Amino acid sequence: MKLNRKQYLNQLLGCWNGKNIGGTLGAPFEWLRQINDVDYYIQEMNGRPLPNDDLDLQLLWLLAMEEKGIDLSADILADYFNIYVTPHWAEYGICKANMKLGLNPPMCGYYNNIYRNSCGAYIRSEIWACLCPGNPTLAAEFMYRDAIIDHGGDSEGLYGAIFCVAMESAAFVEKDPERLVEIGLSYIPKDCGVARAIRYVIENVDKQDWCATRDGLLQHFRSQCVTQFCDDCVRKQCSDEDIKKGFDVGPEGWEAPVNVAIVVLGLLYGKGEFGKSICIAVNCGEDTDCTAATLGALLGICYGDDAIEEKWKKGIGSEIVTACLDLGEIPGLGKGLPQTTEEMVARTECLEQAVELRYTVPVSVDDEETDIDNTDFLTATKYAYDWLYRNLFGPIYDFGNFKIMVDYFEGCEIRSGEERKVRIKIKNCYKLMEHVTVSLRFDDGVSVSPAQIFTLYIPQWMTGRNTVSCEIGVSAEMLKSATLRGIAEIRVIGKCTTMLVPIILINGDGNQNS
């Protein structure tokens, strides 16, 4: 199947302009829990957008792929995140603190992270969709590697990001908003908070106005409202009307469900009209710069830059202004990043061509006319779904012919005198049946059960039974350091192949929050 190159480039431009427009429109109302009343920018623009942290990390991922190639692991993305991303707030700060303990994704995005259900991942989804037009399965895999840096485990932040990237990838070849939402939902668990909030919007869009649906979302899916702690007062960023409705309280950090649902609300109530849709999203309140930016990008992909009214583009121009990257570490003091949306389009297109060369794709960008008659292939298959969430609670190490997964299914915290179980999964990715030995090495004073060395047989990949696992118990009578570190050495019998993977457990003695 073919996607016409000229059409694709116009959709890329619509994506990045839509992102800038929505982020700028919503910025003055960010995290205000109130109903707004805007129909255009309220600030003096002077032809320049506001800084947009939603776009910043996507610039960073683009730079990472240009430097390291398109097959970026979660670990490589995490390294870039740690080096270049400057904020220390919420999930950004927690995941970086966890990396200092030695935790890899997804555990750095899960351990002690009350913000793993927040909005930091879905807001940076577009780059992966743009590299995978009409290929939401691959886009979701890229998004997963990205999102688990700061939204690990079975988190709403992860599910919100997967939902958005699947919609955005599909939007390159599917224009029906309801169908796009259906596709996005097929990639996330039916019972997660994001899915339930989205279904609430779908069920009510023809029954009541957007304002009533917004109130219903806050009634059922709200988080704690943002609170400012001043020297002499505590100020909740919540309108008097919403306080009267009881909307000022909720679980802390559980922000992705309502905000991703607001993106869908704006999409369905706006009926594909760019300005109307992003204004509805902003007028719902909450994380307004993010909801409007994500919706603006989605509509820009779906209908192209030509469908965005000139007044929106004229107000901010095409410059990209960064907010949270360490430009001193980037070539040319930041000049190595795209400076305009047009430059972002050109560099994104180059990476998309690299993706086509690396992967078998259902839709290729070509100079021929677009030729896509049926979009059933966009919906997630059971295999694609199961593969995506194959190891939510542990890192995956790729050794070419083998993938090793460390599964912290009981958590990654351990206490003196208690046993913590860890599962090691070994996947054979080649056509030879093999035996492997697993040797476990820990510091003195650490006990491992049932054994420190054992042998496993692994069938070849084509049998469908090519993943084996072993469960070990780790304990120590007295923990003497902040972390308990071990190594699993996996050797293929009869070959020189040796694979080393770390096992890291955090000392939880005295932790009353676990």
Kindly report, residue by residue over 330-369, the tens digit of the pLDDT.
877 778 899 999 999 999 999 999 999 999 999 999 999 9
Q: Which residue has the tokens 């609170």?
A: 227
Query: What is the mean predicted confidence (pLDDT) over 85-91?
Result: 91
Task: Indicate the pLDDT class of residue 514, thresholds 50, 70 and 90.
Answer: very low
The answer to which of 29-38, 80-89, 102-111, 332-341 has the lowest mean pLDDT is 332-341
Query: What is the mean predicted confidence (pLDDT) over 211-215?
Result: 98
Kindly report, residue by residue over 117-149, the tens digit of the pLDDT.
999 999 999 999 999 999 999 999 999 999 999
CA–CA–CA angle 10, 11, 13 (5° rounding): 65
Report which of 190, 178, 246 is spatially closest to residue 218, judged by C-alpha positions: 246
Task: Classify 178 as helix, strand or coil.
Answer: helix
Give me the CATH topology for the region 393-507.
Immunoglobulin-like (2.60.40)
* 201/250 Cα distance (integer angstroms): 20
Query: What is the mean predicted confidence (pLDDT) over 208-227?
Result: 96
Query: What is the mean predicted confidence (pLDDT) over 377-405?
Result: 95
Query: What is the mean predicted confidence (pLDDT) over 27-38?
Result: 96
Query: What is the mean predicted confidence (pLDDT) over 186-190?
Result: 98
Spell out the long-range contacts of 303-308 with Cβ–Cβ below 8 A and sequence spacing 24 or more.
303/14, 303/175, 303/272, 303/274, 304/7, 304/10, 304/11, 304/13, 304/14, 305/10, 305/11, 305/13, 305/14, 305/17, 306/10, 306/14, 307/14, 307/274, 308/14, 308/17, 308/18, 308/21, 308/274
The answer to whether the CB of 119 falls within 8 A of the CB of 256 is yes
The answer to which of 10-14, 291-295, 328-332 has the lowest mean pLDDT is 328-332
Q: What is the pLDDT of residue 465?
A: 79
DSSP string, 322-350: -SSB-GGGSTTTTTTS--BHHHHHHHHHH
Question: Positive or negative CA dihedral for 290, 152, 250, 268?
Answer: positive
CATH code 1.10.4080.10 region(s) in the chain: 2-384
Q: What is the dihedral of CA 230, 234, 238, 242, to 10 degrees?
A: -170
Report which of 247, 254, 330, 261 is spatially closest to residue 290, judged by C-alpha positions: 261
Beta carbons within 10 angstroms of residue 286's beta carbon:
28
Query: What is the mean predicted confidence (pLDDT) over 159-173?
Result: 98
Kindly report, residue by residue over 43-85, the tens digit of the pLDDT.
888 888 988 888 999 999 999 999 999 999 999 999 999 999 9
Please give the radius of gyration of the chain, using alpha carbons only, rounded to the nearest integer: 24
Q: Check pLDDT > 90 for residue 464.
A: no
Query: What is the mean predicted confidence (pLDDT) over 276-285?
Result: 98
* 250/81 Cα distance (integer angstroms): 30
Q: Check pLDDT > 70 for residue 512.
A: no
Q: How many residues does the chain have?
A: 514
Report which of 110, 188, 93 is spatially closest to residue 384, judged by C-alpha positions: 188
The fraction of the chain above a pLDDT of 70, given in percent, is 97
* 84/326 Cα distance (integer angstroms): 5
* 363/172 Cα distance (integer angstroms): 10
Q: Check pLDDT > 70 for residue 440.
A: yes
Q: Beta strand pairing status for 434-442 and 453-458?
A: antiparallel
pTM above 0.85, yes or no: yes
Task: Indicate the pLDDT class of residue 459, thresholds 50, 70 and 90.
Answer: confident
Report which of 407, 466, 461, 481 is spatially closest to residue 153, judged by C-alpha positions: 407
The answer to whether the CB of 257 falls within 8 A of the CB of 196 is yes
CATH, range 2-384? 1.10.4080.10
* 224/248 Cα distance (integer angstroms): 6
Q: What is the pLDDT of residue 328?
A: 86
Residue 97: partners with Cβ closer than 8 Å, 6 or more residues away: none
Q: Check pLDDT > 80 for residue 444.
A: yes
DSSP string, 203-225: HHTTTS-HHHHHHHHHHHH--PP
